[in-house]
């Protein structure tokens, strides 16, 4: 048993961190988040050149062919730097497309990985239920036409393609639609986290040709579940990176800030907040690495491991954020300080793919389902 | 990253699994495992002896001391297989996990020969004489005195919260040997025969109703000088070795305990009904079970990660404090969730032999014993985060 990163993975972490320190200082993140795209073409090009748009995509599909643990390393560093833009949703699309055996999916995946096209996943419907099941999906393709709504879609406004689960002939299907197709309406709905722009997407009699229906039935459901597992790891790893930054920023601050003639970090009340942040971050790392490994190796526990990581990091990231702001005092509550960027992002990560309550219920259902 | 077992580890696990299949006593008193039940302690001694005879005692101890010579990973496998086989817990919590490893570091060859094998066979059950009525978190202020008299130390004083003292054969005792030195520099560690004249124990009744820990009184107790463990006046360092092991290792016993509790809880949820449906079908219950399961997984994974670091040769430093902070609070949340789910009946002594009420009350001790959570947080803040006491 080896519960540590490999040397290559540590090098990957270092090089991503260096890149982010150079290209995404918080001043740059703040500039980017003021724009809807929250990303510039030059940087996206760099992402593609580095292979970060297809790190875990097989080499036949132009990816780097690395594993989910490597992907988690990348996501953690992106979280640490609060990297803005559509990387999450495009990685989600890549994870989903990779599961699907169709020529259209392969072409799309290739153009996504090389940075030509952006693909946003439009999953969540108005009921806000992350358990995507055909009988509950309101979006439907019938007679070659798609009608329905999706909310909280990342960067739909800049996407070339939209990838979405729909109901089709009573089963689930994954379909792809050009973002500028007839009947597609994309409306910006700003969320709590300005580093990733959210949109509401409506489809009204949008034409869907047969080759746009990438998978149906059990194949669609399996592909969806597999991609969901991967993205639970990614969002958990991002949350871990956010926590790491918040812990480091807080410890730095309380070591230098002086009150009552001494550093505030010398007060036990403050020390204990910091110790709690450390403990939460350490346990989150165990959960994230385990989930990444289990999903990568497709172990029997992969589903449980992914939900455990999502449930745990949702809580720990938020609570670390609460304590970080508290330890900073007034400055931590200002727009000027970067903490709120991380705090906002942590809240958004908490919702993504289901919050802690959602994942706990799912875990509980699975565990209680066994026969006695 | 590879959380799979190596072929050697897997083979080792399979051997253990086969052995457990043939040797786990059936039935054994799983319900209501109070700490004061004499039959229960004898039962555990017998079980420990059986483990020893089978070659499964002290798996991570060096072979020369009768152990299995295996690494921390096997230690973890051992633990999980014990759970899987629904085997009894190990009696060696103090002897095998705390005293033994400390003897291995600090003991003379004679001390190792004399004591280590007897820990593994459960011939000697150990307790640790640490806390005193006026020395709890500030352990180094302890005042139990030992004065050298010829070839012996003469010990006078009182210890408290001493788990297992009422059944223990030996005590690893911290005493003050130099009252004029700074408090950390005047402490010595002694190995004391609990049958010595002048040793008396008085069980303390805990809030859970048990009398598992004790007050221990030492009145002119004569301890042979050869039973000093480590150098004179360096007992604090010896004592810290025990504490490091305690924090790192007690989580493994707790994991077994929590795992069994959750398993029992899941079974009850499948059997009991409320509002016309099984508890297991109630989404509120499902969420709580999911939370309990998550807590347990986090304990397991944090432990595994620490083990992995230890087997890579990194010494267990502050990990122990991280783990202890984690498992103690996780167990408290688990017992709370359990009673929420099971409802009023779970408080009754007639329901599962009163185990839920017992666990609930017992869990309050978790964040106090072995160094309070506040002490663990102090350690983390000072040693890991570099936040000093002054400045």
Cβ A293–B280 below 8 Å, yes or no? no
Active-site residues of B, by number, are 246
The residue of chain A nearest to residue B295, with distances taken between CA atoms, is A312
The residue of chain B nearest to residue A263, with distances taken between CA atoms, is B391
According to DSSP, residue B75 is labeled H
Is residue B321 within 8 A of residue B376, CB to CB? The reply is: yes
Alpha helices in chain B, H assignment, sequence order: 7-23, 38-53, 72-84, 100-106, 109-120, 235-271, 283-311, 319-342, 355-362, 373-379
B390, pLDDT greater than 70: no
Q: How far apart are CA B104 and CA B71, in angstroms?
A: 15
User: What average pLDDT does the segment B138-148 reach?
Assistant: 96
Cβ B290–A362 below 8 Å, yes or no? yes
Q: How far apart are CA A226 and CA A223, in angstroms?
A: 5
Give how far B380 is from chain A: nearest CA, Å: 6
Check whether domain A119-216 has CATH 3.40.1360.10, yes or no: no
Q: Which residues of A touch B4 (CB under 8 A)?
A: 1, 297
Contact B377/A at CB under 8 A: yes
Which residues neighbour B176 within 8 Å (Cβ) at sequence distance 6 or greater?
B142, B143, B144, B145, B146, B186, B187, B188
pLDDT in tens, B173-211: 999 999 999 999 999 999 999 999 999 999 988 888 877
Q: How far apart are CA A52 and CA B329, in angstroms?
A: 39
Residue B260 binned pLDDT confidence (cut-offs 50, 70, 90) = confident
pLDDT in tens, B41-59: 888 888 889 999 999 988 8
The pair of structure tokens assigned to B5 is 């077992």
Domain locations along chain B = 7-120, 126-233, 238-384
Helix (H) or strand (E) holding B174: strand B170-176
Give how far B9 is from chain A: nearest CA, Å: 9
Phi first, then psi, for residue A185 (nearest 5°) are -120, 125
Q: How far apart are CA A228 and CA A230, in angstroms?
A: 5
Phi first, then psi, for residue B278 (nearest 5°) are -65, 145
Closest CA to B110 of B237, B224, B187: B224
Residue B283 binned pLDDT confidence (cut-offs 50, 70, 90) = very high
DSSP, collapsed to helix, strand or coil, labels residue A11 as helix
Residue of B286, B378, B390 with shortest CB distance to A364: B286
Contact B285/A at CB under 8 A: yes
Residue of A9, A272, A364 with shortest CB distance to B289: A364
Is residue A211 within 8 A of residue A178, CB to CB? The reply is: no
Closest CA to B359 of B374, B342, B375: B342
Contact B313/A at CB under 8 A: no
State the pairing for strand pair A161-168/A119-121: parallel
| pLDDT by 10s per residue, chain A, length 372 | 789 999 999 999 999 999 999 999 999 999 999 999 999 999 999 999 999 999 999 999 999 999 999 999 999 999 999 999 999 999 999 999 999 999 999 999 999 999 999 999 999 999 999 999 888 899 999 999 999 999 999 999 999 999 999 999 999 999 999 999 999 999 999 999 999 999 999 999 999 999 999 999 999 999 999 999 999 999 999 999 999 999 999 999 999 999 999 999 999 999 999 999 999 999 999 999 999 999 999 999 999 999 999 999 999 999 999 999 999 999 999 999 999 999 999 999 999 999 999 999 999 999 999 755
The pLDDT value recorded for residue B241 is 81
Q: Which residues of B touch A4 (CB under 8 A)?
A: 1, 308-309, 312
B30, pLDDT greater than 60: no
Cβ A287–B297 below 8 Å, yes or no? yes
Cβ atoms within 10 Å of A49's Cβ, excluding its own: 11
Closest CA to B124 of B66, B210, B73: B66
Q: How far apart are CA A238 and CA A255, in angstroms?
A: 26
Q: Calculate the alpha carbon distances from A70 to A14, A16, A92, A103 in Å.
A: 12, 11, 15, 27
Contact A279/B at CB under 8 A: yes
B35, pLDDT greater than 70: no
Determine what percent of chain A is predicted with pLDDT higher than 90: 98
Is residue A296 within 8 A of residue A68, CB to CB? The reply is: yes
The residue of chain B nearest to residue A304, with distances taken between CA atoms, is B294
More confident residue, B93 or B224: B224
Side-chain half-sphere of B149: how many Cα atoms within 13 Å?
10
The pLDDT value recorded for residue B248 is 65
Determine what percent of chain B is predicted with pLDDT higher than 70: 94
Closest CA to A8 of A53, A54, A73: A73
Q: Which of B1, B13, B264, B286 to mutate to test the interface with A (most CBs of A within 10 A)?
A: B1
Cβ A3–B302 below 8 Å, yes or no? no
The pLDDT value recorded for residue B269 is 97
The residue of chain A nearest to residue B289, with distances taken between CA atoms, is A364
Cβ A1–B307 below 8 Å, yes or no? yes
Which residues neighbour B16 within 8 Å (Cβ) at sequence distance 6 or greater?
B56, B77, B78, B81
The pLDDT value recorded for residue B75 is 81
The pLDDT value recorded for residue B82 is 83
Superfamily of domain B7-120: Acyl-CoA dehydrogenase/oxidase, N-terminal domain (1.10.540.10)
Q: Which of B290, B308, B376 to mutate to test the interface with A (most CBs of A within 10 A)?
A: B290
pLDDT in tens, B208-236: 887 778 999 999 999 999 999 999 999 99
Interface of B with A in 63-92 (CB under 8 A): 73, 76
Give how far B372 is from chain A: nearest CA, Å: 13
The pLDDT value recorded for residue B5 is 84
Cβ A360–B4 below 8 Å, yes or no? no
B31, pLDDT greater than 70: no
Q: How far apart are CA B162 and CA A249, in angstroms?
A: 42
Contact A327/B at CB under 8 A: no
The pLDDT value recorded for residue B304 is 87
DSSP, collapsed to helix, strand or coil, labels residue B304 as helix
Cβ A283–B298 below 8 Å, yes or no? yes
B315, pLDDT greater than 70: no
Residue B380 binned pLDDT confidence (cut-offs 50, 70, 90) = very high
pLDDT in tens, A91-129: 999 999 999 999 999 999 999 999 999 999 999 999 999
Q: Which residues of B touch A297 (CB under 8 A)?
A: 4
Looking at chain A, how many residues does it have?
Answer: 372
Q: Which CATH architecture has domain B238-384?
A: Up-down Bundle (1.20)
Domain locations along chain A = 7-113, 119-216, 219-369
B318, pLDDT greater than 90: no
Residue B32 binned pLDDT confidence (cut-offs 50, 70, 90) = very low
Pick the CATH number of A219-369 from 3.30.56.10, 3.40.50.170, 2.30.30.30, 1.20.140.10: 1.20.140.10
Closest CA to A109 of A61, A175, A46: A61
The pLDDT value recorded for residue A290 is 98
A7-113 against A119-216: fold identical: no
Cβ A367–B289 below 8 Å, yes or no? yes
The residue of chain A nearest to residue B2, with distances taken between CA atoms, is A2
Ramachandran class of A144: left when φ > 0, alpha when ψ lies in -120 to 50, beta otherwise? left
Q: Which residues of A touch B281 (CB under 8 A)?
A: 368
pLDDT in tens, B150-170: 999 999 999 999 988 988 999
**Rounded mean pLDDT of chain B?**
89
Closest CA to A144 of A183, A107, A99: A183
Contact B7/A at CB under 8 A: no
Closest CA to A52 of A23, A35, A73: A73
pLDDT in tens, B66-79: 888 888 778 878 87
State the pairing for strand pair B170-176/B277-278: unpaired
Three-state secondary structure readout of B110-167 = HHHHHHHHHHHCCCCCEEEECCECCECCCHHHCCCEEEEECCEEEEEEEEEEEECCCC
Interface of B with A in 40-59 (CB under 8 A): none
Which residues neighbour B286 within 8 Å (Cβ) at sequence distance 6 or greater?
A360, A361, A364, A365, A368, B280
Query: What is the torsional sign of CA B130, B134, B137, B142?
Result: negative
Q: How far apart are CA A16 and CA A323, in angstroms?
A: 27
Asked if the peptide bond before residue B27 counts as cis, ω within 30 degrees of 0, the response is: yes
The residue of chain B nearest to residue A307, with distances taken between CA atoms, is B294
Pick the CATH number of B126-233 from 3.30.1540.20, 3.40.50.300, 2.40.110.10, 1.10.3720.10: 2.40.110.10
Angle, vertex CA A359, rays to CA A356 and CA A363, nearest 5: 135
Q: How far apart are CA B353 and CA B339, in angstroms?
A: 14
User: For the structural domain made of A7-113, what CATH number should be given?
Assistant: 1.10.540.10
DSSP string, A269-295: HHHHHHHHHHHHHHHHHHHHHHHHHHH
User: What average pLDDT does the segment B129-143 reach?
Assistant: 94
């Amino acid at each position: 048993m080896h519960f540590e990163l490999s040397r290559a993975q540590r090098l990957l972490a270092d090089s991503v961190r260096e890149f982010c320190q150079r290209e995404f200082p918080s001043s740059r993140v703040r500039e980017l988040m003021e724009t809807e795209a929250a990303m510039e073409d030059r940087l996206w090009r760099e992402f593609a050149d580095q292979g970060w748009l297809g790190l875990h995509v097989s080499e036949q599909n132009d990816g780097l062919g690395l594993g989910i643990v490597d992907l988690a390393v990348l996501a953690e560093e992106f979280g640490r730097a609060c990297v803005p833009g559509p990387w999450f949703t495009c990685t989600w699309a890549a994870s989903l497309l990779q599961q699907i055996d169709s020529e259209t999916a392969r072409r799309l995946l290739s153009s996504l990985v090389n940075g030509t096209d952006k693909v946003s996943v439009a999953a969540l419907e108005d009921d806000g239920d992350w358990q995507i099941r055909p009988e509950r999906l309101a979006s439907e393709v019938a007679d070659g036409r798609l009608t329905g709504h999706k909310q909280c879609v990342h960067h739909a406004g800049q996407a070339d393609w939209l990838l979405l689960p729909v109901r089709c002939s009573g089963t689930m299907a994954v379909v792809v639609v050009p973002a500028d197709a007839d009947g597609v309406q994309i409306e910006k709905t700003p969320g709590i986290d300005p580093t990733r722009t959210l949109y509401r997407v409506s489809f009204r009699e949008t034409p869907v040709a047969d080759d746009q229906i990438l998978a149906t039935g059990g194949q669609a459901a399996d592909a969806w579940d597999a991609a969901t597992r991967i993205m639970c790891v990614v969002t958990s790893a991002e949350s871990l990176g956010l926590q790491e930054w918040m812990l480091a920023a807080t410890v730095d601050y309380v070591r230098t800030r002086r009150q009552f003639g001494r550093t505030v970090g010398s007060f036990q009340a403050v020390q204990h907040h910091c110790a709690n942040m450390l403990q939460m971050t350490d346990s989150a790392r165990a959960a994230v690495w385990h989930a990444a490994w289990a999903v990568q190796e497709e172990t029997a526990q992969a589903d449980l491991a992914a939900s455990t990581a999502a449930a745990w990091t949702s809580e720990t990231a938020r609570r670390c954020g609460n304590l970080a702001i508290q330890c900073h005092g007034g400055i931590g509550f200002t727009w000027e300080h970067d903490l709120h960027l991380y705090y906002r992002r942590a809240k958004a990560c908490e919702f993504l793919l289901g919050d802690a309550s959602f994942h706990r219920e799912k875990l509980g259902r699975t565990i209680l389902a066994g026969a006695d | 990253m590879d959380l799979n077992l190596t072929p050697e580890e897997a083979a080792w696990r399979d051997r253990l699994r086969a052995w457990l299949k043939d040797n786990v006593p059936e039935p054994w008193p799983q319900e209501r495992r109070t700490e004061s039940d004499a039959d229960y302690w004898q039962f555990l001694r017998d079980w420990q002896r059986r483990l020893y005879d089978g070659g499964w005692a002290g798996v991570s101890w060096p072979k020369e001391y009768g152990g299995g010579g295996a690494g921390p990973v096997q230690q973890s496998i051992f633990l999980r297989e014990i759970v899987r086989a629904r085997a009894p817990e190990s009696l060696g919590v103090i002897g095998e996990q705390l005293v033994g490893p400390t003897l291995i570091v600090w003991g003379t060859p004679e001390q190792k020969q004399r004591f280590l094998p007897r820990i593994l066979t459960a011939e000697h059950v150990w307790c640790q004489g640490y806390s005193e009525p006026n020395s709890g978190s500030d352990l180094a202020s302890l005042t139990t005195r030992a004065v050298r008299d010829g070839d012996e130390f003469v010990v006078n004083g009182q210890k408290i919260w001493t788990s297992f003292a009422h059944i223990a054969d030996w005590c690893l005792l911290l005493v003050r040997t130099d009252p004029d030195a700074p408090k950390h520099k005047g402490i010595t560690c002694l190995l004391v025969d609990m049958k010595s004249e002048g040793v008396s124990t008085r069980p303390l009744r805990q809030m859970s109703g048990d009398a598992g820990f004790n007050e221990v009184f030492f009145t002119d107790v004569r301890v042979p000088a050869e039973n000093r463990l480590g150098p004179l006046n360096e007992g604090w360092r010896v004592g810290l070795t025990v504490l490091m092991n305690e924090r790192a290792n007690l989580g493994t016993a707790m994991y077994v305990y929590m795992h069994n509790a959750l398993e029992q809880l899941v079974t009850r949820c499948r059997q009991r009904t409320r509002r016309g449906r099984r508890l297991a079908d109630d989404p509120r219950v499902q969420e709580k079970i999911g939370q309990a399961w998550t807590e347990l997984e986090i304990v397991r994974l944090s432990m595994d990660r620490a083990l992995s670091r230890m087997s890579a040769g990194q010494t267990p430093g502050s990990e122990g404090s991280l783990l202890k902070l984690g498992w103690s609070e996780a167990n408290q949340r688990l017992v709370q969730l359990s009673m929420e789910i099971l409802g009023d009946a779970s408080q009754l002594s007639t329901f599962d032999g009163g185990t839920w009420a017992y666990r609930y009350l017992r869990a309050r001790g978790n964040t106090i014993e072995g160094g309070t959570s506040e002490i663990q947080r102090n350690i983390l803040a000072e040693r890991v985060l570099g936040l000093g006491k002054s400045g």
